[in-house]
Amino acid sequence: MNGYWEIEKVSFPSGESKSYNVNAVVDYFLLTGDSTGIRQKVMPQLDGTFVSNGDQEIFTIKKRDNELYLDYDNQGVKHSEKVLTLKRDEFVVINKDKKTYHYKPFKKFEIK
């Protein structure tokens, strides 16, 4: 899970989906303990670095009913995402609004 992930596609409860070919913002996930971590929105730069506004969401990994959840608490605002897939090259979560987010590992920009 550690690393930079970009949204590849969002699937909606209606059955529709939206694909993302280029992302100006990606999600950085970092596990900071056995079951805790941070998620931060960052903007990739052409030189391979990332710029962040410094805002972070702290999450806790919890198992409920044999399913894995990321429980967030952002200054008292709580929400949860169920992990559907977590592989080296794919990360999929679904939120309370039944929106499914399909992530892929972020690849640095290549200027040719």
Indicate whether 26 pLDDT > 80: yes
Closest CA to 108 of 7, 23, 19, 10: 23
- What is the per-residue pLDDT across 30-86, written as a single tens digit (0 to 9) for each? 999 889 999 999 999 988 899 998 889 999 999 999 999 999 988 888 999 999 999
Q: Which domains does the chain have, with CATH numbers?
A: 3-105 (2.40.128.280)
Indicate whether 94 pLDDT > 70: yes
Query: Is residue 87 exposed (0-12), middle (13-18) or buried (19+ Cβ within 10 Å)?
Result: exposed
- What is the model's pTM? 0.90
CB atoms within 10 A of CB 108: 12
pLDDT score, position 112 = 62
pLDDT score, position 36 = 95
